[in-house]
Amino acid sequence: MDEVTGSLDGRGLRVTVVAARFNELVVRPLLGGATAALARCGVADQAVRVVWVPGSFELPLAAEAVAAGGDCDAIVALAAVVRGETPHFDYVAGEAARGLADVGRRHRVPIGFGVLTTATLEQALDRAGGKHGNRGEQAALVAVEMATVLRALRAVPGTGTP
């Protein structure tokens, strides 16, 4: 049996974090968690770029531009969508998730999904370094591991992975 695995060794990786300014009170700590995790994985500070966009709905377009540029090994998407009184939440959260997944598959660039979807601001803060950890950190770790998985697959003959 042949197994392909990744690692959390981010040395040599170039990572872009795409972050939404809307709900910045939540997104800033997510960004802190993500950048700290990238540093622990050995991603050089100069190899990390942060791109700010207005909100969650704009994340896929920015991620598309980054991925199409070809100078990035992984993307980390960070945002907080808090449920309100209208169905706006469902559209924004769903389109952000679908759009980011599409970009990752189209360009074969892993995207760590750090888009919180919560019922309240308190729940979001709990997941941005509060009592439920930091989802920005987790998204960065996923991005690094998937980048190394894809790198390992490229080395396996017959995988069809460019």
Distance CA 71, CA 124 (A): 31
- The torsion region of residue 108 among left (phi > 0), alpha (psi -120 to 50) and beta comes to left
- Strand 48-53 relative to strand 15-20, pairing: parallel
In sequence order, the β-bridge partners of residue 17 are 50, 76
Are the C-beta atoms of residues 82 and 119 closer than 8 Å to each other? yes
Q: Which residue out of 7, 11, 69, 88 is catalytically annotated?
A: 88
Amino acid in the structure at residue 120 = T
Q: Annotated catalytic, 88?
A: yes
> Whose CA is closest to 36, among 150, 131, 133, 121?
133
70-92 as b/e: b if 16+ CB within 10 A: eebbbbbbbbbbbeeeeeebeeb
* Active site members: 88
